[in-house]
A and B are shown apart, each in its own frame.
Chain A
Amino acid sequence: MNFQAADAGPEPPRLELVGVGRRFGTVQALEGVSLVVRAGEIVALLGDSGCGKSTLLRVVAGLEFADAGAVRLDGRPVDASVPPEARGIGLMFQDYALFPHLTVGENVRFGLSGRSRTEARAIAAGRLEQVGLAKRTESYPATLSGGEGQRVALARALAPGPRILLLDEPFSNLDRRTRDRVRADTFGLLRETGTTTLLVTHDPEEALAFCDRIALMRSGRIVQVGTGEDLYERPNSRFAARFFGDLVEMPARCRRGNLETPFGLLDAGGAPEGANRLACLRPETIRLAEPGHGTPGRVVRRSFLGATVALEIAVDGIAAPFSLAAHPDDPMRPGDPVGLVLRGSPLIFDLARD
């Protein structure tokens, strides 16, 4: 269930970030961050903890201020003079931030202070219905399960009809089984309501599966923006490539347009003669074959994982053994020789630029 980007062209930009920077003391939390989120789009800010993605979210929300660059909402600049309550932005917190002294219904109505009482009740009831919690209207947050709390937080954030919804690691507090269901429901609702969404996550699969585009962040900068396919298949750095999966890394020198690797000669992608490059393979582009076919390797470990087995393969000339998935019926055992056949093109990186 991979949601594709709608034709991004006609939709106007909802949120624009231009060269946003933020420094805390000696730490440059954000530097030169530029990003456009179009109306109706779901965009992920992806990165490891401490990469600045949450700070960027708070800058957009108005809870934190940029000391460089500009933030524009629907084309109008929002700087420190526009407080968070005047931005019309929804934010769902990692800990949900439900008010413990208010009932579920009062929580959802909290952001509807401008509406009449009956209107607010109707909107809140509708949102709670959408997340399947109409029956818990009079409950207090302390009595909710983690998944229910997440859904109340979502209903509350959506109730005022925000121009953009910010989600800060919204699924990280849920156990795995609940998470899969809640996540699918949440993105389903966001698609259904056409809510423009900026999601902060450290989970690449979440970003790939549910978001139109991904902005990959590292040390306060955005290193690559694009669709999931762009980032997975055409990463612009080893960092980006590694972020989305295991790599088999083979340093090599360019000879007559080719790189000489344990997998034979690979196209160097236009690198100059004599240049050092890193050729990388995704494990799923390597197929197991009978010994004698392709590149020779040796099984060094076998781990049973249920649906598959992981075979760790050592190849002469490659520094670390890498793991390939095989069918559980596969009889191979540690010490057995195997053949390895390449069926895709490698990723070539210039480490000097990484």
Chain B
Amino acid sequence: MSLPLTQPLRSPPLAWALGALALTGLVLSPLVSLGHAALQGSGELWPHLLEYVLPQAVLQTAGLLAGVGLAVTLIGTGAAWLVAAYDFPGRRLLEIGLLLPLAVPTYIVAFAYLDLLHPLGPVQSGLRDLFGIASPRDLRLPELRSLPGCILLLGFVLYPYVYLPTRALFLMQAANLLEAARTLGHSPRAVFARVALPMARPAVALGTSLALMEALNDIGAAEFLGVRTLTVQVYATWINRSDLPGAAQIALVMLLVVIGLVVAERWARRGRGFAGTAQRPRSLTRTRLRGPQAAAAFLLGLAPVALGFLIPAGYLAASAAGRIARAGLPETLPAEIFSTVLYAGAATLIAGAVGFVVAASPRLIARRAGTALIRVASLGYALPGTILAIGLLGPLATADSALAAASTAVFGAAPALIGLGTGGALVTAYLVRFLAVAIGTCEAGLSRVPGSLPDAARMLGRGPVATLARVQLPLTWPALVSGALLVFVDCVKELPATLLLRPLNVETLATHLYGEAARGTYEDGAVAALLIVLVGLIPVAILLRLGSRSPQLR
């Protein structure tokens, strides 16, 4: 009753190898092309860049990163400790609320506050009415359009990157150690400074580095607020001066900053293994606050939520409602929604499929090669959108001309630029940049499938591909869907690469908003901004759903 032993049918996984090679090429091509472009030199422009543009941009970027780093660390760890160590009415609400600013992209928070704090905007008008001041010139508020203003705004929307892992760490590991410290005679405040904070260092380092990546990636907020960062200069050098080598050179400097951030993060996590204990974590017993103390704690925790989400989102909702009531929906809105969903959707589908296969390949094909592929394919997440876009221009143009040449040879006529002309370029950029998100969530999902299940499928006569389709895919489906949703949202929010790579005359919600802000016609952008924020709430909901299943949020 035995099955006949089939002959060895192990063909080398050629398709996989070719796919892996292509993906590696795609991810690495921006870097190679940047280096190539930068080496060509921009001749007479380089001395100008070197003398006037770069030093200032590097200084402003360094100032911005230092300031934002300090701000997100203070706000993020403070908020995490507040909700992890103390109990007061409204704490549970705050635990969730503190995540909300994740939904607001940096350029939208700047957009909202610029309008809100405009001399003719509601805040200044209200203050003037209150104090009976007639002329805007007589009421001087600190200027928002400045480096400190930019730091504050970014700090209040980027702190959740620190809050999230730090709070998880406090919840996961704090209990025993912190209680040990208490029994050894330390006050709660001393425990925070001497035990909790040093223990949280890896989480803080991770969160801060992610927040700084976002700050470096930002183009809208910095530009609206008049801060000439490297990102802004790359964009300006390319768009205004059409100087690709110059832009590439600045982009390479940015790349150094990225590497610096990664190294700094590794260094800050050095020598500490905090990856969780074998025991089931027990939550910290919170100190109960009452009366004025409780009220103060609540207000303290509410401040970042209000500044980072409630006020800007509320303001956007109000002005979007006003705009719709007065003039109806903007006429261009359906077209913008369509192109936004089209490009983001296409990238999401591809990233979901590719991400799942990449994440599964260590189990499917070969452990070493698969793991290496995951590393390489996830690199794009560290590349700011501007660097990616500038870096992809060259390879895409080459691909386009190759296609055109092939088409001319076969059909006798060349089509329009396929990559750069149709949005293929934009989808490619989204894919490279956000593939890591899809891979990461699929990997997490796959790692929860016990290894014996795919082994069992193999023992029952199914090949690797059938095993993946019949066992791992159905079991990882929820993770794949949430990963795809995260990619979609990231694509919708993405601004710098979209600005640079969208086809001519195509506007997405994000680029429309950018255009309105550049023109100073804020109200017209409010509807688009509100839509982006609403879409941005999806990942917050996913995080909360994941969080409700385990005490540890991601």
Docked complex: B186-221 residues within 8 A CB-CB of A = none
Docked complex: B1-31 residues within 8 A CB-CB of A = 1-10
The stretch of B45-53, B233-241, B459-467 in contact with A is B459-467
B475 at the interface (CB under 8 A from A): yes
* A85 and B459 contact, Cβ closer than 8 Å, known pairs A73-B5, A163-B2: yes
Cα–Cα, bound, A321→B460 (Å):
52
B257 at the interface (CB under 8 A from A): no
Hey, which chain B residues are within 8 Å of A86, CB to CB? 5-9
| Chain A 87-104 per-residue mask, 1 if CB under 8 angstroms from chain B, else 0 | 111110111010111000
Which of A76, A84, A114 touches B459 (beta carbons < 8 Å)? A84
* A163 and B3 contact, Cβ closer than 8 Å, known pairs A63-B455, A113-B462: yes
* A100 and B475 contact, Cβ closer than 8 Å, known pairs A63-B458, A163-B3: yes
State the main secondary structure of chain A at its contact with B.
loop
Hey, which chain B residues are within 8 Å of A113, CB to CB? 461-462, 466
Docked complex: B426-445 residues within 8 A CB-CB of A = none
* A93 and B452 contact, Cβ closer than 8 Å, known pairs A74-B5, A82-B8, A86-B5: yes
Looking at the assembled complex, report how far the CB atom of B480 sits from the nearest CB atom of chain A, in whole angstroms: 14
B463 touches A87 (CB 8 A): no
Looking at the assembled complex, report how far the CB atom of B381 sits from the nearest CB atom of chain A, in whole angstroms: 31
Cα–Cα, bound, A160→B460 (Å):
7
Cα–Cα, bound, A62→B455 (Å):
10
| Chain A 60-84 per-residue mask, 1 if CB under 8 angstroms from chain B, else 0 | 0111000000000110101001111
A161 touches B1 (CB 8 A): yes
B457 at the interface (CB under 8 A from A): yes
A111 touches B461 (CB 8 A): yes
B3 touches A160 (CB 8 A): yes
* A101 and B459 contact, Cβ closer than 8 Å, known pairs A76-B5, A86-B6: no
Cα–Cα, bound, A114→B4 (Å):
12
Looking at the assembled complex, report how far the CB atom of B476 sits from the nearest CB atom of chain A, in whole angstroms: 10
B291 at the interface (CB under 8 A from A): no
B456 touches A91 (CB 8 A): yes
Hey, which chain A residues are within 8 Å of B3, CB to CB? 88, 114, 160-163
A61 touches B471 (CB 8 A): no
B271 at the interface (CB under 8 A from A): no
Hey, which chain A residues are within 8 Å of B2, CB to CB? 74, 88, 161-163
| Chain B 471-493 per-residue mask, 1 if CB under 8 angstroms from chain A, else 0 | 10011000000000000000000
Cα–Cα, bound, A161→B460 (Å):
10
Hey, which chain A residues are within 8 Å of B462, CB to CB? 85, 110, 113
B475 touches A101 (CB 8 A): yes
Cα–Cα, bound, A224→B394 (Å):
68
B406 at the interface (CB under 8 A from A): no
Cα–Cα, bound, A160→B459 (Å):
10
B458 touches A85 (CB 8 A): yes
Hey, which chain A residues are within 8 Å of B1, CB to CB? 161
Hey, which chain B residues are within 8 Å of A97, CB to CB? 450, 452-453, 455-456
Looking at the assembled complex, report how far the CB atom of B382 sits from the nearest CB atom of chain A, in whole angstroms: 31
Cα–Cα, bound, A113→B3 (Å):
12
Which of A76, A95, A111 touches B450 (beta carbons < 8 Å)? A95
Which of B5, B457, B474 touches A87 (beta carbons < 8 Å)? B5
Q: Which residue of A lies closest to B8 (CB)?
A: A81
Cα–Cα, bound, A114→B6 (Å):
13
Hey, which chain A residues are within 8 Å of B453, CB to CB? 97, 99
* A84 and B455 contact, Cβ closer than 8 Å, known pairs A101-B475, A114-B461: yes
| Chain A 273-315 per-residue mask, 1 if CB under 8 angstroms from chain B, else 0 | 0000000000000000000000000000000000000000000
Known: A93-B455, A94-B452, A110-B470. 18 other contacts (CB 8 A): A63-B455, A74-B2, A81-B8, A81-B10, A83-B8, A83-B10, A83-B464, A84-B458, A85-B460, A86-B9, A91-B456, A101-B475, A111-B459, A114-B461, A157-B460, A162-B3, A163-B2, A163-B3
6 closest Cβ pairs, A-B complex: A111-B460, A97-B452, A161-B1, A97-B456, A163-B2, A84-B458
Interface residues of A (CB under 8 A from B): 61-63, 73-74, 76, 78, 81-91, 93-95, 97, 99-101, 110-111, 113-114, 156-157, 160-163
Interface residues of B (CB under 8 A from A): 1-10, 450, 452-453, 455-464, 466, 470-471, 474-475
Q: Can you list 26 pairs linking A and B with CB atoms under 8 Å apart?
A: A61-B459, A63-B458, A63-B459, A76-B5, A82-B5, A83-B464, A84-B455, A84-B459, A85-B462, A85-B463, A86-B9, A87-B5, A88-B461, A89-B459, A91-B459, A97-B453, A99-B456, A99-B471, A100-B475, A101-B475, A110-B462, A111-B460, A113-B462, A114-B3, A161-B1, A162-B2
